[in-house]
């Protein structure tokens, strides 16, 4: 039953959060409820994130050495192969998010969104307001400072790589008509706290060849609408696998590939760096698991980490069918549960996401590990949900933790469930 006073409380809490989106797609998104954990439990999640992150970082040099055909077999678009091999700054990814199943039987990695994770504003900012409402400690309180520090380090490293005089022109970009992407990007811009500008993706100007005007030659590059050359482009929410297919609606030029060419030619730097995209394909988890099964590449200690936190992942379902084990099929570059299916050990579908945007993506097959269930308070009453925990990885350090609450497959309609520390659980 809907409670008018609860509606009012929820509205009062979330209207305090600057430029937030408590409702998405005209339905409730941010819950006025909280999931409480002890410091020790939260530290276990952060430890898992840092250990798993180290495994992915160890895989990057190997991925860069793979030939084109192998990278294509791992789902990477052929237009982006030169891009994803680039090593521009020491950090492999600045802001990534590891999605975990967290249950009494352990912590298991579902996937790593290394390149364009969202859920940032919720975990790093909005969570604080709900913790204050419930009078509990916010486990993400110090994470904004770490976020700022790592973003600034990335900007400094990017500027050093360009080796240009003066100070960099920094531009943050996203789809201007997507409220979640827009305010997530503006949140990052605000917390970088360096001179910068926001320009929506459709307003970026790509100059593919040198241009002479009145005897003055302007070299190719990326520019703002007012004609300023962009040195560093922060594109936190725009996936490279979409970028490579971007075309100018007026000229039909492939501006996405032209932008990638500018990055390769060192005309502009991007954050997250290209190496973040190299880790984005879920097929990388199949590569890691295959090396683990063959006892190759990783140290004994690293193999223990893989065994503890990774789920068996393959490019074919044969192993699961052979052992009559339930499994999940997911697209290598899918997002928000789109095109995900759950199968029983006989290969029969037992659950699936109605959205099928990524049917042409290379699929990966992963052991099914059910999400824990609980009951949460929504504006329409109590509701049974499944929980997925996301832990941000800021360079190589664990950051904010957030929870999505929804169905057995977490999708874009899943709720944001805040997380806090209760006094009696602090020990």
Q: Which residues of 393-414 are buried (b: 16+ CB within 10 A; e: fewer)?
A: bbbbebbbbbbbbbebbbbbeb
- Provide the token pair at 328: 């999940």
Q: Which two tokens stand for residue 228?
A: 């300023």
Q: In terms of DSSP bridges, do strands 197-198 and 170-172 run parallel, antiparallel, or are they unpaired?
A: parallel
From the list 76, 60, 112, 113, the residue with the least C-alpha distance to 362 is 76
What pLDDT sits at residue 426?
44
Site of tokens 């305010």: 183
- pLDDT at 427 (0 to 100): 42
Altogether, the residues listed in the chain come to a count of: 427
Residue 235 three-state SS: coil
Answer for the pair 132, 145: CB distance below 8 angstroms, yes or no: no
Taking the chain (427 residues) in consecutive chunks of 10 residues, what is each chunk's mean pLDDT? 86 96 94 97 97 98 96 93 95 97 95 95 98 97 97 98 96 94 96 96 91 84 96 91 81 86 96 96 97 98 98 97 97 90 95 89 96 96 97 98 96 94 63
Cα(41)–Cα(46) distance, integer angstroms: 9
pLDDT digits (tens, 9 = 90+) for 216-251: 888 999 999 999 999 999 998 888 888 888 877 777
Structure tokens of 135?
């009078």
Sheet hosting strand 349-352, strand order edge to edge: 313-314, 363-367, 327-331, 341-343, 349-352
CA distance 90 to 81: 20
Task: Give the β-pairing of 349-352 and 341-343.
Answer: antiparallel
């Amino acid at each position: 039953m809907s409670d008018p006073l609860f509606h009012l409380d929820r509205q009062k809490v979330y209207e305090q959060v600057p430029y937030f989106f408590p409702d998405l797609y005209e339905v409730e998104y941010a819950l006025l409820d909280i999931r409480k954990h002890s410091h020790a439990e939260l530290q276990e999640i952060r430890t898992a994130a840092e250990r798993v992150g180290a495994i992915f970082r160890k895989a990057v040099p190997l991925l860069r050495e793979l030939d084109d055909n192998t990278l294509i077999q791992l789902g990477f678009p052929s237009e982006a192969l030169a891009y994803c091999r680039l090593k521009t700054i020491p950090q492999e990814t600045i802001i990534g998010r590891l999605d975990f199943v967290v249950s009494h039987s352990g912590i298991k990695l579902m996937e790593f969104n290394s390149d364009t994770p969202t859920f940032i504003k919720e975990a790093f900012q909005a969570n604080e307001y709900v913790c204050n409402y419930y009078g509990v400690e916010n486990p993400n309180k110090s994470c904004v400072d770490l976020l700022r520090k790592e973003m600034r380090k990335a900007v400094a490293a990017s500027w050093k790589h360009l080796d240009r005089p003066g100070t960099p022109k920094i531009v943050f970009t996203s789809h201007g008509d997507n409220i979640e992407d827009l305010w997530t990007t503006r949140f990052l811009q605000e917390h970088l706290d360096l001179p910068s500008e926001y320009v929506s993706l459709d307003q970026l100007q790509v100059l593919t060849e040198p241009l002479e005007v009145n005897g003055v030659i302007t070299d190719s590059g990326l520019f703002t609408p007012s004609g300023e050359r962009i040195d560093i482009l922060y594109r936190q929410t725009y996936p490279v696998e979409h970028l490579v297919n971007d075309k100018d609606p007026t000229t039909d030029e492939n501006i996405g590939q032209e932008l990638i060419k500018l990055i390769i030619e060192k005309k502009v730097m991007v954050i997250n760096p290209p190496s973040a995209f190299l880790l984005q394909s879920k097929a990388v988890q199949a590569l890691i698991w295959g090396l683990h099964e063959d006892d190759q590449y990783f140290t004994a200690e690293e193999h223990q980490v893989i065994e503890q936190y990774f789920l068996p992942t393959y490019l074919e379902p044969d192993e699961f069918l052979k052992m009559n084990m339930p499994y999940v099929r997911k697209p290598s570059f899918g997002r928000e549960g789109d095109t995900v299916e759950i199968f029983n050990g006989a290969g029969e579908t037992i659950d699936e996401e109605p959205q099928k945007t990524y049917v042409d993506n290379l699929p990966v097959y992963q052991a099914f590990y059910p999400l824990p269930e609980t009951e949460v308070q929504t504006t329409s009453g109590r509701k049974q949900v499944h929980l997925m925990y996301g832990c941000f990885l800021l360079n190589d350090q664990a950051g904010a933790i957030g929870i999505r609450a929804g169905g057995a497959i977490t999708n874009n309609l899943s709720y944001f469930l805040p997380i806090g520390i209760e006094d009696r659980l602090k020990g």
